[in-house]
């Protein structure tokens, strides 16, 4: 196992990744991007630049929608997941996802987290309880919900719901966590909590976070990729992107001149 | 040019340690096999496809039967000449015109109040007691056997007037249409997001203008579709017309005061007759009404679909 100081392995490599919506509208143009293992990679850019679209290829979640298709390669541990032979259940077991709006399932807090556990693993009652607690601890939610585990997940506040979704995602023991603007529907205090949480999760998971909040990218990420009009303009260590961007477009975006 | 301060890149805080069990400590347990889940997935998919094939198959069967048996009778003369008894050459012209009269007049009676009621339910009544009562009654009405409605109209219109009439048939169909149109109107309006209502009010519009000019416009396609589907639904209803519009041998010249020919009752009468020429005419009439209903459905779905782009 490598410590954070060492040069990390590359978990996901996108190569010449292009994406088309129904009717042939092209949303991504030959994206090349490396996602280092157990680091936080932030994806920033103005609305409609393709950052979410890019993220949604990593677990092929787009394949729910008719007529959407990706070209090129997305290599997860060297294996191209865009290959039609890829088993989607296995892929999604390895790559978890958090969405913009919290999406607790219509069941109790406990069952929300226990659901993926029962689905993926053969575990006894006791083990499930132990893991639900661990996942809720891991999502910094345990102290707030430990006395109301039987309550509906939908009854929690927005920030709590989002942390519940994170607990649900990490309970499945994925290797990668995709976060698609996870705090954009959540108030600032809850946002800070989630940011702290994401920083802690970095120890265990490879995290890719799409955000329209540049401060957030600066605060939590190790590397930042700047997208513009479906192309990756610049990728680099977050510090360099925000202090000494090489591209003029990046400079303009992070100083708020457009976007 | 104004520049905004660059975001500050944070120093990374040390990760706090949780007290309880940690996921790191527990590790990833062995995965369950995916075999059963995939088998289940395939079974459900197979079942869905089979169910779909069954539904489509029955529909194709019905349509094919009507098409084969009905096309024998079909001709321009068949559509335009008046019906005739066994042994004489006749058509369904009077029944076709009668059905158009009865159905359109029913829509004229039912649609305006039903739309108003739907608007009231969605925009003003909401969850009030009166609104809930109205919704409940509408649901009861939708479940009411249509022959009961026919009998009811017979009691309140045909008996006092002393004669069957096309108007009575229209009233019976209107009673069937009203709850359907009201509920679809309400459903369509409820799908319009509240932010649109608030934006209208925030501009200083009255409730009335917001409702009629913004909300109804946003829901217009759905509302028109609802009306067309209701028309298609009742235009083939037979039971309510048996006691009301009944049937007439001639052209529908006395819509308000006398029996009026119509396709469903014609099919009912001819289908039960022992004469082959009348049975063939019955199949022809079935083909015509099926084609009519189908085309209204298709028009409703295609022409009034919400266009996104």
Quote the pLDDT of residue A2: 44
Quote the pLDDT of residue B82: 87
* Pairing status of strand A40-44 against strand A223-228: parallel
Residue B307: band (very low, low, confident or very high) from pLDDT cuts 50, 70, 90: low
Is the model's pLDDT at B6 over the cut of 80?
Answer: no
Mean pLDDT, residues B164-181 taken together: 94
How many residue contacts between A and B have a Cβ separation below 8 Å? Answer: 86
Could you please state the CATH topology (level 3) that the domain comprising B97-262 is classified under.
MetI-like fold (1.10.3720)
Quote the pLDDT of residue B306: 65
Closest to A81 in 3D by CA, of A4, A178, A13: A13
Quote the pLDDT of residue B19: 55
Q: Please answer yes or no on whether B29 and A199 come within 8 Å at the CB atom.
A: no
State the SS3 of B204-234. CCCHHHHHHHHHHHHCHHHHHHHHHHHHHHH
Quote the pLDDT of residue B1: 43
Determine the Cα–Cα distance for residues B176 and B91; give it in Å rounded to an integer: 29
Residue B81: band (very low, low, confident or very high) from pLDDT cuts 50, 70, 90: confident
Mean pLDDT, residues B203-207 taken together: 89
Residue A26 forms beta bridges with which residues?
Answer: A20
Residue B309: band (very low, low, confident or very high) from pLDDT cuts 50, 70, 90: very low
Q: Please answer yes or no on whether B24 and A255 come within 8 Å at the CB atom.
A: no
- Global confidence as pTM: 0.75
Q: Please answer yes or no on whether B20 and A134 come within 8 Å at the CB atom.
A: yes
Count helices and strands (H / E) in chain A.
Answer: 10, 10
Determine the Cα–Cα distance for residues A161 and A183; give it in Å rounded to an integer: 11
Q: Please answer yes or no on whether A120 and B32 come within 8 Å at the CB atom.
A: yes
The more confidently predicted of residues B303 and B285 is B285
Q: With pLDDT > 90 as the criterion, what percentage of chain B qualifies?
A: 58
Nearest by CB: B3 against A173, A242, A255? A255
* Number of CB atoms found within 10 A of residue B1's CB: 5
Does domain A10-254 correspond to CATH entry 3.40.50.300?
A: yes
> Quick one: closest CA in B to A224, which residue?
B9
- Reported in sequence order, the residue ranges of chain B that DSSP labels E, i.e. its strands, are none
Measured in degrees and rounded to the nearest 5, phi and psi for residue A12 equal -125, 135
Q: Please answer yes or no on whether B31 and A254 come within 8 Å at the CB atom.
A: no
The residues of chain A scoring below 50 in pLDDT are: 1-3
Mean pLDDT, residues B88-109 taken together: 92
Block residue for tokens 């006749």? B90
Is the model's pLDDT at B64 over the cut of 70?
Answer: yes
**CA end-to-end distance (rounded Å), chain B:** 37
Cβ within 8 Å of residue A63, ≥6 positions away: A88
Quote the pLDDT of residue B5: 63
- Domains of chain A: which residue ranges? 10-254
- Comparing A149-163, B15-29, B203-217, the range with the smallest average pLDDT is B15-29
- Domains of chain B: which residue ranges? 97-262
Quote the pLDDT of residue A190: 87
On chain A, the residues whose CB falls within 8 A of the CB of B18 are 137-138, 142
Q: Please answer yes or no on whether A131 and B18 come within 8 Å at the CB atom.
A: no
Gap from B32 CA to chain A (nearest CA, Å): 5
Nearest by CB: A121 against B3, B25, B29? B29
The ipTM is 0.71
Closest to B171 in 3D by CA, of B260, B96, B250: B260
Gap from A107 CA to chain B (nearest CA, Å): 21
Gap from A173 CA to chain B (nearest CA, Å): 6
On chain B, the residues whose CB falls within 8 A of the CB of A217 are 7
Q: Please answer yes or no on whether B3 and A257 come within 8 Å at the CB atom.
A: yes
Average predicted confidence (pLDDT) for chain B:
88
Reported as type and span, the H/E element at residue A169 is helix A158-171
In chain B, which residues touch A (CB < 8 A)? Answer: 1, 3-4, 6-10, 12-13, 15-16, 18-26, 28-32, 34, 37-38
Determine the Cα–Cα distance for residues A41 and A223; give it in Å rounded to an integer: 5
Q: Write B143-147 long-range contacts (CB < 8 A, 24+).
A: B145/B239, B146/B172, B146/B176, B146/B237, B146/B239, B146/B240, B147/B239, B147/B240, B147/B242
Mean pLDDT, residues B285-292 taken together: 93
């Amino acid at each position: 196992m490598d410590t954070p100081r060492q040069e990390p392995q590359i978990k996901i490599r996108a190569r010449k990744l292009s994406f088309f919506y129904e009717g042939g509208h092209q949303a991504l143009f030959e994206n090349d991007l490396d996602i280092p293992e157990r680091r936080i990679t932030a994806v920033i850019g103005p609305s409609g630049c393709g950052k979410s679209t890019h993220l949604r290829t990593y677990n092929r979640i787009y394949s729910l929608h008719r007529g959407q298709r990706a070209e090129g390669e997305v290599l997860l541990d060297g294996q191209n997941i865009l290959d039609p032979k890829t088993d989607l259940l296995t892929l999604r077991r390895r790559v978890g996802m958090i969405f913009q709006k919290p999406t607790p399932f219509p069941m109790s807090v406990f069952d929300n987290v226990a659901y993926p556990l029962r689905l993926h693993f053969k575990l006894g009652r006791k083990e499930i309880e132990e893991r639900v607690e661990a996942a809720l601890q891991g999502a910094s939610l345990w102290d707030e919900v430990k006395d109301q585990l039987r309550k509906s997940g939908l009854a929690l506040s927005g920030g709590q719901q989002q942390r519940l979704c994170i607990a649900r995602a990490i309970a499945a023991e994925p290797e990668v966590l995709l976060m698609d603007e996870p705090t954009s529907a959540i108030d600032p205090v809850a946002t800070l909590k989630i940011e702290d949480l994401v920083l802690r999760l970095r120890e265990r998971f490879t995290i890719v976070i799409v955000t329209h909040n540049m401060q957030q990218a600066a605060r939590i990420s190790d590397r930042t990729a700047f997208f513009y009009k479906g192309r990756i303009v610049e990728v680099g260590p977050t510090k360099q992107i925000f202090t000494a961007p090489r591209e003029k477009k990046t400079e303009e975006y992070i100083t708020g001149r457009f976007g | 040019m104004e520049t905004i301060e660059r975001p500050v890149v944070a120093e990374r805080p040390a990760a706090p340690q949780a007290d309880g069990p940690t996921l790191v400590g527990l590790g990833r347990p062995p995965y369950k096999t995916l075999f059963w889940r995939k088998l289940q997935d395939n079974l459900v998919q197979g079942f869905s496809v089979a169910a779909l094939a069954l539904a489509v198959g029955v529909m194709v069967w019905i349509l094919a039967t009507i098409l084969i048996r009905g096309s024998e009778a079909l001709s321009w003369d068949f559509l335009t000449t008046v019906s005739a008894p066994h042994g004489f050459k006749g058509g369904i012209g009077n029944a076709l015109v009668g059905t158009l009269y009865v159905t359109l007049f029913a829509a004229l009676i039912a649609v305006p109040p039903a739309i108003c009621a739907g608007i009231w339910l969605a925009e003003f009544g909401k969850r009030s007691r009166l609104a809930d009562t109205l919704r409940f009654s509408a649901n009861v009405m939708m479940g009411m056997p249509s022959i009961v409605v026919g009998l009811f109209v017979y009691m309140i219109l045909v008996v006092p007037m002393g004669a069957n009439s096309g108007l009575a048939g229209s009233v019976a169909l209107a009673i069937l249409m009203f709850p359907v149109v009201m509920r679809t109107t309400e459903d369509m309006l409820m799908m319009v997001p509240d932010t649109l209502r608030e934006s209208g009010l925030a501009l200083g519009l009255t409730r009335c203008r917001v409702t009629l000019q913004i909300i109804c416009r946003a829901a217009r396609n759905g509302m028109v579709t609802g009306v067309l589907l209701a028309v298609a639904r009742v235009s083939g209803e037979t039971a309510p017309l048996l006691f009301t519009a009944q049937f007439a041998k001639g052209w529908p010249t006395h819509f308000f005061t006398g029996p009026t020919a119509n396709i469903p009752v014609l099919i009912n009468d001819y289908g039960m007759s022992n004469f082959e020429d009348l049975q063939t005419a019955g199949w022809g009439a079935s083909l015509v009404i099926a084609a009519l209903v189908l085309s209204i459905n298709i028009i409703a779905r295609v022409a009034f679909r919400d266009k996104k782009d």
